[in-house]
Amino acid sequence: MEKEDKILLATIEDKRRQCEIRYAATNTVFLDMRQRALAEAFCKADRSLMLLSERPDGTYENPDIAGSGRVRALFYGGYADAERRALIFLPEYADLTDFLPPASIAGAQNLETPAAKPQKNKVPTANMQDGSAQTVAFQHPAPEGCPLTLIKAHTAGGIGAKKLTHRDYLGSLMGLGIKRGMIGDIIIRDDGADIIVMKEIADFLLINYEKAGRTNLKLEIADITELNTGIVNIEEKHDTVASLRLDNLVSSVFSLSRSRA
C-alpha cells in the first residue's frame, strides 16, 4: 500500500474515533473515486460502522440505531451523481435530517418546515380573488450540520461571455493555495459554474476568488440545494451488430468506422 493511501486510511480512522468518542459528526475532505473505494473497503471491514448505501433514486435510508453504539457512515457530494464525495460519520443518536437536505433522505422530501424558502412559478397552490393562480413551491434548505456548501460563480459578461472550462475553474482555485480535497464537483453553466466546496472555505473564496483565467467572476454563496446539475440528454439507439466486440458497439453507438472506434 502506498504512503498516501496509508495516510488516508489513518485519517479516516481518526475521524471515526472522533465521532465515537466526542459523540459528534465528523467528515473527511472530498475523496476521488479511487480514494472512495479505499474508504468504502475500510468501512465495510469495521463492524462498529454502519455504512449507508445510496439508493437508486439518490437518497439514503434514515435508520434508527439509537442505543446500538454504532457509528453511521455515508458518502455525500451534494447531489445524486456526484463524483467527488466526503465521507461523513454520524453518532448513533444523530438524525440524517440534521445533516442532509430532505431531498437526499428517503421519505423526507415532502417535509414542511418553517425554514423552507418560497419560490414563485413552481407549483400552483391556490386561486386568487381575481381568478388567477398563485404559484408557490417550497425549497428545503440544507441543515446547519451539512458540511458542504455551494459557490455560484458568474462570469462578468454573462451568457455571451467566453465559456470557461472545468480546468479554468479548478486551476484558478488551486492557484489560491486551496487543496484539492476542499473542492468537490464543478458543474459548468453557460454563465459560469456551480462549485461545491467545504463550508469552511466559502467565506475565503467570496473575498479572494476574483478571476478564472483572465475572466472576472462574481460570486455568491448559495445553499447546496440550489445546485444546477443541468439537463442530461439521453438518446436511445437500436442497431444490429455482427458481434458484441467493443469496437463494433462503439462504432454503432457513435456512428464511427470500426477503425476509428
Supply the CATH number for residue 199's domain.
3.30.70.330
Q: Check whether residue 91 and residue 170 sit in a common domain.
A: no
Residue 167 confidence (pLDDT): 94
Tell me, yes or no, whether 8 lies in a domain.
Answer: yes
> How would you classify the pairing of strands 49-51 and 71-76?
parallel
Q: Is residue 122's pLDDT more than 70?
A: no
Q: Check whether residue 163 and residue 94 sit in a common domain.
A: no
CA terminus-to-terminus distance, the chain:
36
> How would you classify the pairing of strands 85-90 and 71-76?
antiparallel
Residue 105 confidence (pLDDT): 86
The verdict on pTM exceeding 0.85 is no
Mark which of 73, 104, 135 sits at the end of a domain. Answer: 104
Longest dimension (CA), the chain: 71
Q: In this structure, what C-alpha cell is assigned to residue 121? A: 412559478
Q: Note the Cα 109 to chain centre separation in Å.
A: 17
Mark which of 39, 70, 104 sits at the end of a domain. Answer: 104
Torsion of CA 80, 86, 87, 89, to 10 degrees: -100
Tell me, yes or no, whether 252 lies in a domain.
Answer: no
Tell me, yes or no, whether 55 lies in a domain.
Answer: yes
User: Helices in 175-239 by DSSP H: which ranges?
Assistant: 202-208
* Structural domain containing residue 155: 148-226
Q: Check whether residue 157 and residue 100 sit in a common domain.
A: no
In the block, cell 456548501 appears at 149
Tell me, yes or no, whether 184 lies in a domain.
Answer: yes
Q: In this structure, what C-alpha cell is assigned to residue 1? A: 500500500
Tell me, yes or no, whether 98 lies in a domain.
Answer: yes
Ramachandran class of 87: left when φ > 0, alpha when ψ lies in -120 to 50, beta otherwise = beta
Tell me which of 182 and 66 has the higher pLDDT.
182
Task: From 140, 74, 137, 56, select the one nearest 102 (Cα to Cα).
Answer: 140
Q: How far apart are CA 9 and CA 44, in angstroms?
A: 13
Tell me, yes or no, whether 247 lies in a domain.
Answer: no
Tell me, yes or no, whether 121 lies in a domain.
Answer: no
Q: In this structure, what C-alpha cell is assigned to residue 137? A: 413551491
Mark which of 46, 81, 104 sits at the end of a domain. Answer: 104
The lowest-confidence range among 35-49, 118-132, 147-161 is 118-132
Please, which pLDDT band fits residue 138 given cuts at 50, 70 and 90? very low
Q: Check whether residue 78 and residue 25 sit in a common domain.
A: yes
Q: Is residue 126's pLDDT more than 80?
A: no
Chain-wide mean pLDDT for the chain?
A: 82
Q: How far apart are CA 101 and CA 41, in angstroms?
A: 26
Q: Note the Cα 236 to chain centre separation in Å.
A: 27
Choose the most confident range, by mean pLDDT, from 130-144, 148-162, 190-204, 222-236. 190-204
Q: How far apart are CA 186 and CA 82, in angstroms?
A: 10
Q: In this structure, what C-alpha cell is assigned to residue 194? A: 456551480
Tell me, yes or no, whether 161 lies in a domain.
Answer: yes
Structure confidence by residue, pLDDT tens digits, 220-236: 999 999 988 765 555 66
Residue 163 confidence (pLDDT): 83
In the block, cell 455525500 appears at 76
DSSP lists the bridge partners of residue 183 as 197
Q: What are phi and psi of 15, to 5 degrees?
A: -65, -40
